[in-house]
Amino acid sequence: MEESKGKEDPRIAGISSSIRVIPDFPKPGIMFQDITTLLLDPKAFKDTIDLFVERYKDKKISVVAGIEARGFIFGPPIALAIGAKFVPMRKPGKLPGKVISEEYSLEYGTDKIEMHVGAVQDGERALVVDDLIATGGTLCAAIRLLERVGVTVVECACVIELEELKGRVKLGDKPLFVLISST
Amino acid sequence: MSAPKVGEDARVRDIISRIRVVPDFPKPGIMFQDITTLLLDPKAFKDAIDLFVERYKGQNISVVAGIEARGFIFGPPIALAIGAKFVPLRKPGKLPCEVISEDYFLEYGKDCLQMHIGAVEPKERALVVDDLIATGGTLGAAMNLLERAGAEVVECACLIELPDLKGRERLKGKPLYVLLEAH
């Protein structure tokens, strides 16, 4: 049974209906998936976290890495519930200590994400969390950052997948778990 | 030097010991209070959240507003534990729907914080959460946004206060609760 999308769980319907779709943001043609309305529904927000926690709590995961900024909303509650550390992955210049950086491509140009040196240790098992996977560029950069320092990325976890942008393909052999797939 | 504000709670001493001070970030002369090292200690992170939750549960608080980006790390776990909604307060251009904006002054120039229209209802009781209060400019702007939407700001909650910067005085008499002060 394909369970990577959690289709069978009755909580998914409530979560899905709490997400607001905004046409033409940030630019024309994009249907933006606004999770702020999910956060306004305490039951839907709790159910979202619970679905991830149930999946990961017995998987010996010691690191939850969350991508700035919406990954900071979902990552910490998961980390707290499974007893893992939370590691913020940030835009350049935000982290105060020594960092390692990974560049990745955008539609036009490049961007970078950074992680503190020493946040994770060789051999740790990690999740990477963000609200949504689109092209997969940011997630791939996060995975590379963690793997460069010897961490095993067990899975990427997102609330929403934009299937037609094929982020899952870009992730290659790295597993991806999402609650909702949107086309 | 950091000192507990919250009595002699042993949890606070541990929390203090997990916060890293980074000199000369973001510019010379500033001793930056880095909470990312606290997030690497699951027990200390959980204790920090528990201290806020113990204070606020049973207070009929229906809104926890968190200031981008480090308020996104601490606000949601508190909101989830007390059954409140989480409202992200963001830099301009990030929120996809109609917003209200509040300008505030920095040392040089000004900045702006935004909240979605409709996120809070009149008369809701709200907390504002951030990792740290310095001059109080951002927290003051956050309070204004909530009050303009008709909510009642019950308290501002931060892990760290820099009392020498007198941020407490910019909160228009609203209470401020912090776990520790740093000089």
End-to-end CA gap in chain B: 6
Residue A59 has pLDDT above 70, yes or no: yes
A2 is catalytic: no
Instruction: For residues A104 and A149, give the distance between their C-alpha atoms in angstroms, rounded to a whole number.
Output: 18
Give the pLDDT confidence of A62-102 residue by residue, as tens digits.
999 999 999 999 999 999 999 999 999 999 999 999 999 99
| A54-58 average pLDDT score | 97
pLDDT, tens digit, for every residue of B44-76?
999 999 999 999 999 999 999 999 999 999 999
Report the amino acid identity of residue A67: I
pLDDT digits (tens, 9 = 90+) for B139-164: 999 999 999 999 999 999 999 999 99
Q: Which residues of A touch B116 (CB under 8 A)?
A: 36
Non-local CB neighbours of B138 within 8 Å, separated by 6+ positions: B67, B104, B111, B113, B130
Instruction: Tell whether the model's pLDDT for residue A2 goes beyond 80.
Output: no
Q: Which residue has the tokens 């900045």?
A: B111
- Nearest chain A residue to B37 by CA distance is A119
Give tens-digit pLDDT for A40-53. 999 999 999 999 99
Q: Tell me: the pLDDT tens digits for A120-145? A: 999 999 999 999 999 999 999 999 99
The SS3 assignment for B9 reads coil
Contact state of A88 with B49 under an 8 Å Cβ cutoff: no
Active site residue A70: yes
User: Is the Cβ of A73 closer than 8 Å to some Cβ of chain B?
Assistant: yes
**Is A30 in the B-facing interface, judged by CB distances under 8 Å?**
no
Reading the block at residue A12, the tokens are 């998914």
Options A55, A70, A90, A168, the catalytic residue: A70
**Region B9-29 average pLDDT:** 94
At B7 the pLDDT is 57
Shortest Cα distance, chain A CAs vs residue B107, angstroms: 18
* Contact list, A116 vs chain B (CB under 8 Å): 36
- 8 Å CB contact between B39 and B72: no
Q: pTM score, two decimals?
A: 0.96
pLDDT of A7? 56
Q: Tell if the CB–CB gap between B96 and A46 is shorter than 8 Å.
A: no
